[in-house]
Structure 1
Amino acid sequence: MRLVFLAFAFLLVPVMAATQEVRTPSHCIALADQIDGARYIQRASHNVEVAPETVRIHYIAHASFLLRTAGGLNMVTDFTGFVGNVPMIPDVITMNHAHETHWTAFPDPAIPHVLPGWGEEFGQGIDHRVDLGEVLVRNVSTDIRSQWSGVEENGNSIFIFEVAGLCIGHLGHLHHEPSAEQYAAIGRLDVVMAAVDGGMTVDLPTMMRIISRLKSSIVIPMHWFGEFTLDAFLTGMRDEFQVVEVGGPSLDVSVDRLPARPTIMVLRPEWLREEGE
């Protein structure tokens, strides 16, 4: 009887394992090879079904993006408490407190994973490593440095999402070029959201140098104040990066759609809203 029970239990193991969400391994901490036959990213609406091994990126506003997975997980960066007129409770929110446009002191208590980019004590920093099966969310702490020489060590975080074989990084309200140790902790990013205001965060030459070193396949500008600011960044990067005006707020990204040449994808921010509104 015992042998029969053990045999039955053994047969259950692969069935149970098959029901668990499995994350496709990423290459954040390794150099990615060239991908043959890569295609451009597809424009997409934020609230339709996401294809397998794909991430939908929707630029909400300022530095807030919705990242949506094929498994239905919704993650919002630099969450301020409002994403639009949709009844959505994100599964994960990340925040940075350099300015009130990057965080809220009163996130909805129904949000399962609230990830501040700073520690409970001034200058303490924080370490996040949230494994949701389909997605791993982690951070690298950086300093907040004001133009008046004030410094809050480890007050900002670069958040990294490892999902669908991709490494997607959000630089947050970055105030300085990462150190060698921080670059190593960040790893190789396929997609990076970068603040390109040139004043409130790092200056444009520094941000351009950071982006060049990260060698991401896709760069999404954020935190820009008008076309003049955005154009200054694009002009400075055109020799090294192709520039694509997406013409909307959303993209679908997958490993097999990464562009062969590093590309800046310009998204136009738009609050989330129900389809047809």
Structure 2
Amino acid sequence: MSGLRFLVTILVGLISIPWTDGARAQFADRCLAVSQAPHPVQPVALKKTEVRLTFVGHATFLIESAGGVKIATDYNDYVRPAVVPDIATMNRAHTTHYSNFPDPDIRHVLRGWNPDGGPARHDITLSDVRVRNVPTNIRDWSGGSIAYGNSIFIFEIAGMCIGHLGHLHHTLTEQQIAHIGQLDVVMVPVDGSYTMDTTGMVEVLKSLRARLILPMHYFNPYTLERFLDRIRSDFPIEMAGDPMVVISQPTLPGEPKVLVLPGH
């Protein structure tokens, strides 16, 4: 028992020893360093003239403005960004382009078709972002046509017009091109089959004359390469190493160029 009393006496003595100022400072500094340590991933703040584009996959891009607005294109249940967007656009061709159960925290869910019939009409402004649409048609499974089953969404941000063609099934009329306006960036499906053939899609790209062309909606390296082989004589091609790119008017190419962001 005497040994046990001795051990207890030592422990009590250690606990009662007052901390020196240096010890307190060292502990406080360590806690402060931990509390103020940056998160593992901190995206660089955007200038008012910049937009961040991230290819999430399939037909989904995450578009971010300097004002903090986040947009997910062709939002669906299979391929989603890691963050909940403020705005989600959808198209109805396949379930990989829409969701019946979007996250309830999304402020604006914009369907590219009108469930009640007729064309969908969207024109909203949120902070530094304006989103509008131009309806187009799609094919049905019997070979017929569904009027206004798709929308081309146009995002006006930082003095740029960014277009997402959705699940486009046909070339564009002069009226549709006029309503779209002059695009600076276009996100284009390049599968060459489910949407439209490569020749038709190249015609669309030439009519839109966007300075930056971002391929999407390809299912494997073969379909992507088939599209790139077809357009090499029409547009220069750059293969990016990162799925994210920050763009602004001054950094856009002077002539139309294809930028392939890694994805699927």
The structure with the larger Rg is 2
From the two aligned structures, give the one with the greater helix fraction: 2
- Conservation of the 8 A alpha-carbon contact between 1:217 and 1:259: yes
Cα shift readout 1:171-202 (whole Å, capped 9, x = no counterpart): 00001111111111011110000001000001
Report the counterpart of residue 117 of structure 1 in structure 2. Answer: 112
Following superposition of structure 1 onto structure 2, how do residues 230-269 of structure 1 map, counting pairs within 5 Å? 230-269=224-263
Q: 1:90 aligns with which of 65, 85, 89?
A: 85
CA–CA distance in structure 2, aligned partners of residues 46 and 76 of structure 1:
20
Do the aligned partners of residues 180 and 101 (structure 1) sit closer, same or farther apart at CA in structure 2, a change above 3 Å counting?
Answer: same
Structure 2 length-normalised TM: 0.81
Could you tell me which runs of 5 or more consecutive residues in structure 1 were left unpaired when the two chains were aligned. 1-44, 271-277
Residue 214 of structure 1 aligns to which amino acid in structure 2?
L
Q: Which has the higher contact order (CA 8 A, sep 6+)?
A: 1
In structure 2, distance between residues paired with 1:127 and 1:185: 12
CA-atom RMSD, angstroms?
Answer: 1.7
**1:261 Cα shift?**
2.5
- Would you say the 8 A contact 1:56–1:69 is kept in 2? yes
Deviation at 1:163, TM superposition (A): 0.6
Look up the match of 1:212. 206
TM-score, length-normalised on structure 1?
0.77
2-side partners of 1:137 and 1:82: how far apart?
24
The number of equivalent residue pairs is 224
Is 2:169 the partner of 1:175? yes
C-alpha deviation, 1:83, in angstroms:
5.3
The one-letter amino acid paired with 2:199 is: P
Specify every segment of 5 or more residues in structure 2 that has no aligned partner in the other structure, as ranges. 1-40
Tell me how far 1:82 sits from its aligned partner. 5.6
How far apart are the structure 2 equivalents of 1:104 and 1:259? 35
Give the residue type in structure 1 aligned to 2:153: F
Per-residue CA deviations over 1:194-213 (Å, capped at 9, x if unaligned) read 00100000111000110011
Work out whether 1:61 is the aligned partner of 2:70. no
Cα distance change on mapping 1:85 and 1:250 into 2, 3 Å: closer
* Aligned-pair identity (%): 43
Query: In the alignment, is the contact (CA less than 8 A) between 1:46 and 1:250 conserved in 2?
Result: no
1:80 aligns with 2:72: no
* Cα distance, 1:119–1:234 mapped onto 2, change above 3 Å: same
Q: Which runs of 4+ in 1 moved over 3 A?
A: 45-48, 81-86
- Using the TM superposition, give the Cα deviation of residue 85 of structure 1 relative to its aligned residue in structure 2, in angstroms: 7.7
